[in-house]
Amino acid sequence: MPNIEIFKRLYKDYTKKYLNKIFLAVFFSILVAGSTSATAWLLDPAIDKIFINKDQSLLLIIPLLIILAFATKGISLYLAKVTMIKVAEEVKKELQVNMLTSFIKADTENIENKHTGKYISNLNFDVNQITGMLSTSFLTFFKDGLTLIGLLSVMFIQNWRLSLIALIMIPFASITAKKLGKRMGKVVTEAQEKSGDLNKYLIDIFKNHKIIKIFQREKYENERSEKFVDDLKEKSIKISAVLIRATPVMEILTGTMIAVLIFYSGKLIMNDQLSLNNFFSFLAAMMLAYQPVKSLATINVGISQGLSASKRILPIIDTINLIQTNDNKINLILKNGTIDCKDINFHYSTNLENKVLKNINIKINGGKMTALVGQSGSGKSTLLSLIPRIYDPTAGKLEIDGQDIKEVNLFSLRKEISIVDQNVTLFDDTIFNNIKYAKPNAKDYEIYEAAHLSMCSEFIDKLENKYQTMIGENGVRLSGGEKQRLSIARAFLKKSKIILLDEATSSLDSETEEKIQKALDKLTLNKTTVVIAHRLSTILNSDKIYVMDKGIVMDSGNHEELLTKSDTYKNYYKKQINKS
């Protein structure tokens, strides 16, 4: 995206609505410029009237005016900065909300293709770069730009010849700014990458904390952590070094200008072509102009930082999901809940050569239990994920009661589906709220009933705070079986007509599994149920069993039929009997 398009986009979507506050900041910037210029100009009558002509009538007035000028500058500068800080924080909030909305609505495959740490870096590091450009750089442009114009006016009023000499500084400063801006864009991009790497590493450390201890890798991880922090430190140093690189250039230019001006002014004063009061007023204006010239010389750096960050953030916000919500399409009309997979093929966008599912043609009868069995990597979980449109098939069609699920309202589809996954996802909240997540408007008694049916009440009643117990990040304070039961409780609460069970009892001991299986029998009664289970004992009574291998449906039938006609299923079953 070209830089001009980025500016237009940021203005239209994020800053246009705050124009009144921005104009207010510009007004205060005008006061800052006027008061700064007035300070330099007041030295002319101060030296001429008070020190040279010894006019006592102005002895009190001019100092008071100087105090007034400085007070106006200080207050106006404060108000301008506070106003722009508020604007920046509002813009920051909108950018972050838009990014979070994009994350929440994003296709699952998009989220899985990028590490969480990178998204966190985008959300924090990059957004701060953009808001810095929109606030600090914007304020600098107006405040210091107007101040420079005011001071240049004072300088030209005092002596236009000297002013032309002083103006030589500006093109040199502009060249410096251009070079620094290009360098800054590259360095900031590198720093963002290192910030993302550090976030990735931090998340991995928290997730794998037990593994690190068990395998005694503390020393190794300490060395890795130092490298990640050190890499970010080096990039931060580079950013700071680029930011202050203009300082020596500006100091040399300013020193040279002052030396030349003193030499030339001395000749003008000796020839009575310049009065002493004009010179000191001019010199004061030029010295005061040093700060705005320096700020304007580095403004390109801040803009480059913001543009570089925008090129990373705006594409995230603008991401068009392949799985559309179909808000304007008809709702799914569920009758029997029969699911038909017709010539289904699927591959991930990151691996086009490897087909995960190949020409799948199966029928899942409504109100019955259908099982998918096979080795890990056979495509069972992927096929299950196609039903609620977590993914869409790359070819073929999936229908529910004769309705193509890609042609119905997505909310109406997912409303009819509950899933109990082997990888249980819980929130760092209370047990009560984690169950309620499945149905936000549920009554308390419904939540207690769901907990009872899923055997959760057995362990909840033993906790000090019962249902108000905080379970920690992803239920870290609960056992695997307890987390699994909470997941099952959510399915009970939602009361969907289609139930998807992906290793729903994998984390349970034999005794608890038997109890949960009875609960699942109640949950799935007269409902369309698709179940994946390595333990064949849990699917023996399935209406139909599909045997999968390497993305292909090898055989189908009930348990007895498959033992007779399917060597793959028979071997699979024998292995489990031998293990038991």
The lowest-confidence range among 151-155, 209-213, 370-374, 378-382 is 209-213
pLDDT at 189 over 90: no
Element (DSSP H or E) covering residue 342: strand 339-346
Handedness of CA 531, 534, 536, 537 (dihedral sign): negative
d(CA 428, CA 450): 20
Q: Which amino acid is at 433?
A: N
Judge whether 550 and 544 are in contact, CB under 8 Å. Answer: no
CATH architecture for residues 326-416+496-507+516-580: 3-Layer(aba) Sandwich (3.40)
The answer, yes or no, to whether residue 500 has pLDDT greater than 80, is: yes
How would you write 2-14 as a 3-class SS string?
CHHHHHHHHHHHH
Of the candidates 268, 316, 310, 22, the one whose C-alpha atom is nearest the C-alpha of residue 165 is 268
| Residue pLDDT, tens place only, 266-277 | 887 788 777 777
SS3 assignment, position 369:
strand
271 Cβ contact list (under 8 Å, min separation 6): none
Q: Is the dihedral of CA 141, 146, 148, 152 positive or negative?
A: positive
Interior angle at CA 200, CA 194 and CA 204, nearest 5 = 145
Residue-wise pLDDT tens digits, 65-118: 888 988 998 999 899 989 988 888 888 888 888 888 888 888 887 777 777 777
Which range of 178-182, 241-245, 331-335 scores highest in mean pLDDT? It is 331-335
Q: Which of 499, 327, 498 is nearest to 407 (CA)?
A: 327
What residue spans define the domains of the chain? 3-317, 326-416+496-507+516-580, 425-495
- Residue 443: which pLDDT band, with cuts at 50, 70 and 90? very high
- Statement: residue 338 has pLDDT above 80: yes
- What CATH number should be reported for the domain whose range is 425-495? 3.40.50.300
User: Is 90 exceeded by the pLDDT of residue 331?
Assistant: yes
Lowest mean pLDDT among 275-279, 478-482, 565-569: 275-279
Strands 544-549 and 552-557: antiparallel
Better pLDDT: 417 or 521? 417
Q: Of 393-407, 514-528, 555-569, where does mean pLDDT reach its minimum?
A: 514-528
425-495 has the same fold as 326-416+496-507+516-580:
yes
More confident residue, 161 or 170: 161
Looking at the predicted structure, is the pLDDT value of residue 257 above 80? Answer: no
Superfamily of domain 3-317: ABC transporter type 1, transmembrane domain (1.20.1560.10)
Q: Are 43 and 282 spatial neighbours (Cβ–Cβ below 8 Å)?
A: no
Look at residue 526 and tell me whether its pLDDT is greater than 70. yes
Q: What is the pLDDT of residue 75?
A: 93
- The fraction of the chain above a pLDDT of 70, given in percent, is 91
Task: Provide the b/e sequence for 140-174 (b: ≥16 CB within 10 Å).
Answer: bbbbbbbbbebbbbbbbbbbeebbeebeebbebbe
Render pLDDT for 399-414 as a digit per residue (tens, 0 to 9): 999 999 999 999 999 8
Tokens of 323: 């799985």
**Chain segment 361-392, per-residue pLDDT in tens:** 999 998 898 999 888 888 888 899 899 998 88
Tokens of 33: 């410029």
What mean pLDDT is predicted for residues 320-331? 87
Half-sphere exposure in the Cβ direction for 263 (13 Å, CA): 8
Please give the mean pLDDT across all residues of the chain.
82
| Averaged pLDDT, 326-345 | 91
DSSP state of 470: B
When pLDDT is averaged across residues 291-297 and rounded to a whole number, the result is: 73
pLDDT for res 400: 93
